[in-house]
Structure 1
Amino acid sequence: MVQHKTQTVAYVRVSSVDQNLGRQLETIGDVDRVFEEKVSGGSRTDRVALLECIRYVREGDVVKVASMDRLARSLTDLREIVDEITGKGASVVFVKEQQTYSRDTEDAIGRLMLNLLGAFAEFERTLIRERQREGIRLAQAAGKYKGRSRKLTVEQLVEVRGLIGSGVPKAKVARDLQIDRTTLYRALARKADDGPVGE
């Protein structure tokens, strides 16, 4: 029987196409393979690289992630993903938190630490969102906040509708235009003569 050569892989994620993955890769260090994506962590189905990573790892492999919030956006999601990976006999290393989880080290203390650190990461994200909303409210009150810039012109919207009508996937259209899928869906929901559409 051929012995599987164990590998160390990295999973890195940023929320939008204009963000850089370099800092996470530097934090993680050298690995055999990198799974990377530029997508919000909200929906598992949209995270193709994560699904590929979970399918790829085998017994004895190590998945390195810069921090817990890069792997999951909620505590429930974090537990499920870690369980999927460790269930295959691989281990998960969170570099920032200095935590390692595997099937062999699964115990009550390890599970408690995962829950505590995951809850803190989720809480921190909530605080950041609240600070952003408060900052926008203050800027609006001072007349300094103009909102996000428009991303799609009426001409582009007509072109987008034509591409999608001819069978081009929406995800590809969004990538080619370098806009978020949410922006695209919002644009498609508007009438062609409503003016430019933004995020």
Structure 2
Amino acid sequence: MIIGYARVSTAKQDLQAQQELLKAEGCERIYIEKVTGTSTAQRTELKAMIENVRHGDKVIVTKIDRLARSIIDLNKIVTELTDKGVSVQFIKDNMTFEPGEHNKPMQTLMFNMLGSFAQFERDLIVERTTEGRERAKAQGKHLGRKGKPKKDVQRAMSLYSDRDNNGMSIADIVKVTGVPRSTIYHEAKKQKAEV
């Protein structure tokens, strides 16, 4: 059986390109994951794939960094799969690892180098992000999404509670107060639960 594995780091990233490539390679089943981080601990689809593959299967991944972000995890996963008699192919890296002793020393070296570069790139991104965050904090900048002032939310909730009398719709309240619709609904739900 030909099995695909696709992963993105954030919910905003698109899996479609990976899925199309895997389908073009003839994948009959594709395990899909939206998980960030270097650890494989929370990757349930990866674990399921490793458990479900059988001797003679082929696992196809678009790129090495989609399977693992650290060289240790990469070697562990590929070794675990090949030990089960499963071959592993990386499309864009143009590499295939077969079960047994068939892998060429040069291919293994390239595999380890590419895995190291993927990890290095990830570490650089983390380092740059941390430095940028520290710089922004030192300059007194607020990071992340800033909520509406409490008085605006209170005003919106007052209008929301009295909307039968004031004739205002949710859209009107949002326009007048600038408080997002989701915040109004969230606060209304919270108030209802307290009652």
TM-score scaled by length of structure 1: 0.63
Distance 1:49 1:133 in 2: 29
Q: Quote the offset at 1:49 in angstroms.
A: 0.3
2:123 maps to 1:129:
no
Q: In structure 2, the residue corresponding to 1:46 is in which secondary structure?
A: coil
> Which runs of no fewer than 5 residues in structure 2 stay unpaired?
148-195
CA contact (8 A) 1:74 1:118 kept: yes
The corresponding residue for 2:116 is: 119
Aligned partners of 1:57, 1:45: CA distance in 2, in Å? 19
Could you give the per-residue CA deviations for residues 128-148 of structure 1, whole angstroms, max 9, x where no partner exists?
A: 2233334445555666x5312
What residue identity is the alignment partner of 2:72? T
SS in 2 for 1:13: strand
In the comparison of the two structures, how many residue pairs are matched? Answer: 144
Task: Tell me if the contact between 2:69 and 2:115 (Cα under 8 Å) persists in the aligned partners.
Answer: no
Answer whether contact 2:7 2:15 (CA < 8 A) is retained. Answer: yes
Measure, in 2, the Cα distance between the counterparts of 1:78 and 1:116: 11
Q: Deviations over 1:147-198 (max 9, x none)?
A: 12269xxxxxxxxxxxxxxxxxxxxxxxxxxxxxxxxxxxxxxxxxxxxxxx
Rounded Cα–Cα distance in structure 2 between residues aligned with 1:86 and 1:41 = 24
Match of 1:60 among 56, 61, 64: 56
Partner of 1:22: 16
Query: Cα distance 1:16–1:100, how it changes in 2: closer, same or farther (>3 A)?
Result: same
Q: Which is higher, the Rg of structure 1 or of structure 2?
A: 2
Offset, 1:98 = 1.1
Q: Which residue of 2 aligns with 1:76?
A: 72
Identity percentage of aligned residues: 42
Q: Does 1:10 align with 2:7?
A: no
Work out the CA distance in 1 between the residues paired with 2:117 and 2:22. Answer: 21
Q: CA deviation at 1:35?
A: 0.4
User: Alignment RMSD, CA only?
Assistant: 2.3
Find the residue that maps to 1:37 and give its secondary structure: strand
Matched with 2:157 is: none
Q: After superposition, where does 1:89-104 map in structure 2 within 5 Å? A: 89-104=85-100
Q: 1 or 2, which has the higher helix percentage?
A: 2
CA contact (8 A) 1:54 1:85 kept: yes
| Structure 1 unmatched runs, 5+ | 1-6, 152-199
The answer on whether the counterparts of 1:9 and 1:32 sit within 8 Å (CA) in structure 2 is yes
